Structure 1
Amino acid sequence: MTQITSTMPIATPSPAPPSPASAPAESKSKSINAILEHVFGSLPTLAVLVILGGLAFWGHHTGWTVPKFSSIVGATEAKPDDWCESHGVPDSQCVECNKSCMAPVKDYGWCREHRVHQCAWHHPDIAQLDNPRQPTQEDFERAKQALALTARPLNNSRCQNYQRRLQFATADAVEKAGIDVMPALRGPIVESVAASGQLAYDTTRVLHVASRAAGTIWRVERQIGDRVRPGDVLALVDSAEAGKAKSDLLQAIAGLELTQLTLARKQSAASGIPGRELQEAKAAVREAQVRLKAVQHVLANLGIVVNPVELAKLPEDELNVRIYFLGLPAEIVRTLDPQQTTGNLVPIRSTIEGVVTNRDVVPGEVVDTAKELFVVTDARQMWLTLDVRAEDARTIQLGQTVRFRPDGGGDEVVGKITWLNPAIDEKTRTLKVRATVDNSAETLRAFMFGTGRIVLRTESNAVVVPNEAVQTEGCCRVVFVRDKNFLKDGALKVFHVREVQVGAQDEANTELIAGVLPGEIVATKGSGVLRSQLLKNNLGAG
């Protein structure tokens, strides 16, 4: 009987409809969530509106103006009719408007020698010091050398800002403005030219080694990285030319010995020997000596030095062994078996101390005298090539000191300039300068990059100030010198604008070739505030 399977779909029960009691609760929950989402979504917009409203309120009450210099530095309140709007101090105390408040320093004008107004070297009375010392001849000579060395930033001889004085209402106002001060000091400074550089091996200390005789490499003694000394064997070459030269040496020694014995015998019997035979015996000795000397030269060309007199004294058996291994050091001979070793071996030696930096040979390889087999490098001294800007080229001379620091850290190394390219590179517009640097510690590597500083001048007694003390007010370099009476009770709080001629600069200090005497107090940190006031470019000054 056939079984019949039903394909009718099976009905599934549908979800029960929500009860009348639960429907209102669910609807209420959805409404609360929608309200919360709307509130939180509107918060950024509300925050922006609050900020804009606050800004409008501030602008309405301030007239849309930013604070003036006087309010920033904390000027004291003054009567409405006793206030200098231009300089931010009480009008009755303003040294710029009322010269009677503080007599101006005598104006000595422009100094052609030192390229500043109010030259403190020639006129030390302008210094803000109670007892300014008189400059010495060394001071003038030092300034002269510094100015002659290289082009310096130029000050404008027509600028009048050196006559300006910047005033604060109180000492607290100076502190509030963030102004710090330091005295100009005597100290060392080094003037140098910076240039990028690259290290390389000193090619006069790189030995390219080839075999002195054609043949087959019998054994290699040294590998890359091995340290060698002069005379150390790098490899052994099986050379038929060397074997023939050794054989000729044996024959030459024997021939000389025979002719010498013959001559001695004939000389002892000179009365019975014709003179012609005696002369022939002497000629034979000279001929044997010439042959021996010729063999010596052949062996010397192969790098083998012999002493025929010493060899002639040896017994025959010992002589044969000595010549068989002629030219090989004793430590290598001790490792060789005469029964299994050819007598044609020639050593390939290093003639310098250094490290094997390349090996291009394997045992069994046939070589000639033109093939480079090893490179030995003495890296205890290296070459540094610097690319100096064309505008600095005239200051570079042979023998100048170079200080070089590799990229990525490392100790500074010192060297001397040994070569200057006579031409400027057409593409880079730089001058190639080469210096020899010491690498006794062997911490430097060929092809390292770094920065070199060529020392132009080392001054041990320069006038220096912190770098931040020097400002450029458009056409001149200036510092702000604190008035000598600044700290006295009731004294006006004034800074004098002083033109300066700047020189060398390092990471911390700037040399002042002229303009300020040692001991004068200058503004350092915050001196930009004074510059802003000087330029009338401060906030809200108009």
Structure 2
Amino acid sequence: MIDVAAPPVAPTETPRHRNDRPAGPPPTPEPSPAKATPRDGSRAGRAAKAFLGWAPPALTFAALAGLAWYGHEHDWNLPTVAAAVDAGPEWCEQHGVPEAECVLCTPGLIEDAPDLTFCKVHGVHNCVLDDPTLAEVPGLDDPEVTEADLNRAARALALRPRRENLSQSRLPGTRVQFASVEAAREAGVEVEPVFRRPVMESVAAPAEVRYDATRTAHVSPPADGVVRAVLVKPGEQVAAGQTLAVIDSEKVGRLKAELSSALSAERLARVERDRIAPLVSRDVIAGRRLAEADAALAAAGADVDRAARALGNLGLTVDAKALRTLPADEADAAVRRLGGGSDSVGGADGDNLVAVPAPLAGRIVDLDAVVGEVVGRGTPLMTVSDTSAVWVDLRVPAEEAGFADLGRTVRYRPDGSDEVREGEVVWVSSDVDPTTRTVRVRAELPNPDGALRNESFGTGELILREEPEAIAVPHEALMWDGENTLAFVRDARWFEEGRPKFFVARSVRPGVSADGYTEVIAGLLPGEVVATAGGDVLRAQLLKGNLGAGCTCGH
């Protein structure tokens, strides 16, 4: 046995080889006193670890439950600073003003809002066109509504469907209050007065300029031949009947010769008949000879008429009656001058020459004739057009084509130009383009300076309505709340000291919009003041005040 109190004594061993093993099993080490743990202490540790594991989730759940209870009891509104420190006036949380000054929660502070009505004629609530006393015009208790205002509203509503307001809505007429003028300014609310300005309602469509076909002529030679002279240049202004070109035509020369020959034969037959007639009357010769002479004279006259008609069919004017009265040499000269051909052009025989005249006054817009070219009757030599007036073809959407009445005013602005030309509708197609689903509407426009060029493009407008004294507001003054088009009108006594500061929601009927302004067909009067910036703040407060049970300030 070893004494645990005695000092240790180094054992004496007999050296042995490293591979020698001691006899018997190895000794078992005794347990260390520091590592010994009682059985009861092991249970307490496990309990502590379990508590530390579930305590944080339990505390988090309890906090969330408490927050849910508080939110449910206080409508999910955080307490105000005034409520937290119990200082200052109590505030109406629903309307954002002191409770004592809230016109919506404290009856009798100011005059009651007028009863909400709906005007079926103009489609707005509390219509100021029917009852001007409802308007909020500073300094005027009874603004004037003219007969022109009523007629203007009637025209606009009858022209086309307009966005409608919900007659059952309760939002129009609601007052949106601010604590002070400074509070409205800090909320970003800006205002502008309602005023009059000219407006125009139209249907815009892409348009193309074309020559007026009734004022345009494609010039061609009267007969087959060779171009001997071209007497005009492209773009030149010509008069009706002016010679444009000269054609050398063998056919014309032949027909002229036939006419001259027929005139000579007729003169000879007349002389013969005049010689025989006295002889027959004296019974010198048989009456049969006179009958033969009359027949020959009639046949010669028919030849003259046939040759004259043949030349007339080529466009040459032939007065056969006048030619019969002329002496032979003068008649031949007159026949040679038929058709306006000169005695000699380019070495050609004057009898074969025929002039090509301008069928109307206008401008040479196209020239294809070349001297020496062989041309046939009907070959286009040039085009003459009276460009003092042109056609403008608009491609109007099929659903808007009903506005294209004959005589309706059209305004056209060429691409790349600010100049506007005005004309009127002269034709409306009965077809709808199968590809573009548009209808061609043609207007005639004056073009005295020739600035409108054929096949140029621009924008055309069918003028539906022009109002020189319309009521208008900036675009930003109007907004759609899902039921109505609203404007927020400032109280007419806004700057009166001690009076609550509020705007009134007003339903309106918007008309045409242009240049940053929108026409108000009904719902506002000139002189009223509307919010143009900060409208989202006003609308949010309006919707907030009309959610659920409404005011929650306890009144």
Task: Please tell me whether the aligned partners of residues 184 and 522 of structure 1 are also in contact (alpha carbons under 8 angstroms).
Answer: no
Q: Secondary structure at the match of 2:429?
A: strand
Identify which range, 399-408 or 119-128, moves more after superposition: 119-128
Q: Rg bigger for which structure?
A: 2
- Equivalent in the alignment of 2:199: 189
Aligned to 1:121: 129
CA 1:461 to 1:262, structure 2 compared with 1: closer, same or farther past 3 Å? farther
Report how far residue 214 of structure 1 moved. 1.1
Contact 2:228–2:346 (CA under 8 A) maintained in structure 1: no
Match of 2:409 in 1: 401
Between the aligned partners of 2:150 and 2:509, the Cα distance in structure 1 is: 13
Residue 318 of structure 2 is aligned to residue 306 of structure 1: yes
CA distance in 1, matches of 2:255, 2:331: 15
Question: Where does structure 2 lack aligned partners over 5 or more consecutive residues?
Answer: 1-85, 546-555
- SS of residue paired to 1:494: strand
Q: 1:356 to 1:116 in 2, by over 3 A?
A: same
Name the SS for the 2:440 alignment partner: strand
Q: Which residue of 2 aligns with 1:206?
A: 216
CA distance in structure 2 between the partners assigned to 1:164 and 1:444 by the alignment: 55
Contact 1:396 1:456 (C-alpha < 8 Å) held by counterparts: no
| 1:8 alignment partner in structure 2 | none
CA separation in 2, counterparts of 1:430 and 1:467? 30
Aligned residue type for 1:477: T
Report the alpha carbon displacement of residue 410 of structure 1 after superposing the two structures with TM. Answer: 3.8
Q: For residues 233-261 of structure 1, what are the alpha-carbon distances to aligned partners after superposition, in whole Å with 9 as ceiling and x for unaligned?
A: 22221111100111122123323333444
Please list every run of 5 or more consecutive structure 1 residues that lacks an aligned counterpart in the other structure.
1-77, 538-542
Match of residue 236, structure 1, among 220, 243, 246: 246
Residues 1:480 and 2:488 are matched in the alignment: yes
Alignment map for 1:305-344 (pairs within 5 Å): 305-312=317-324, 314=326, 316-328=328-340, 333=342, 336=344, 341-344=349-352
TM-score by length of 2: 0.73
Task: Name the structure 2 match of 1:347.
Answer: 355
> 1-side partners of 2:116 and 2:169: how far apart?
14
Deviation at 1:146, TM superposition (A): 1.9
The equivalent residue for 1:3 is: none
Question: 1:54-112, CA deviations, whole angstroms, 9 ceiling, x for partnerless residues?
Answer: xxxxxxxxxxxxxxxxxxxxxxxx97333334434333222233343333432242222
Once the two structures are TM-superposed, the CA of residue 444 in structure 1 deviates from its matched residue by 1.1
Q: 1:165 aligns with which of 169, 175, 190?
A: 175
> Per the alignment, do residues 123 and 259 of structure 1 end up closer, same or farther by CA in structure 2, a change over 3 Å counting?
same
Identity in percent: 36
Aligned length: 455
Task: Select 2:425's aligned residue among 417, 421, 424.
Answer: 417
Aligned to 2:524: 516
Matched, 1:179 2:194: no
**Aligned partner of residue 422 in structure 1, secondary structure:** coil
- Paired residue type of 2:201: E
How far 1:529 moved relative to its partner?
Answer: 5.1
**Equivalent residue, structure 2, for 1:248:** 258
Deviation at 1:519, TM superposition (A): 3.4
Q: Counterpart of 1:38?
A: none
Q: Counterpart amino acid of 2:253?
A: G
TM-score for the superposition, normalised by structure 1: 0.75
Aligned residue number for residue 308 of structure 2: 296
Q: Which amino acid aligns with 1:98?
A: T
Structure 2 CA distance for aligned equivalents of residues 428 and 136 of structure 1: 44
Conserved 8 A contact 1:403-1:454: yes
Whole-Å separation in 2 of the counterparts to 1:211 and 1:84 = 95
- Any idea what SS the aligned residue of 2:253 has? helix
Alignment of 1:385-464 (within 5 A): 385-464=393-472
Using the alignment, how far apart are the partners of 1:377 and 1:155 within structure 2?
54
Query: Which of 506, 509, 512 lines up with 2:514 in the alignment?
Result: 506
- Alpha-carbon RMSD across the aligned residues, in angstroms, is 3.1
Determine the structure 1 residue equivalent to 2:370: 362
Deviates more, 1:338-347 or 1:402-411: 338-347
Once the two structures are TM-superposed, the CA of residue 345 in structure 1 deviates from its matched residue by 0.9
Structure 1 residue 314: Cα displacement: 5.0
Cα distance in 1 for residues equivalent to 2:87 and 2:530? 32
Code of the residue aligned with 2:433 in structure 1: it is: D
Maintained 8 Å contact 2:194/2:472: no
Shift of 1:213: 0.7
Distance 1:316 1:407 in 2: 64
Q: Which segment drifts farther, 422-431 or 147-156?
A: 422-431
1:521 CA displacement: 2.9
Contact 1:181 1:525 in 2 (8 A): no
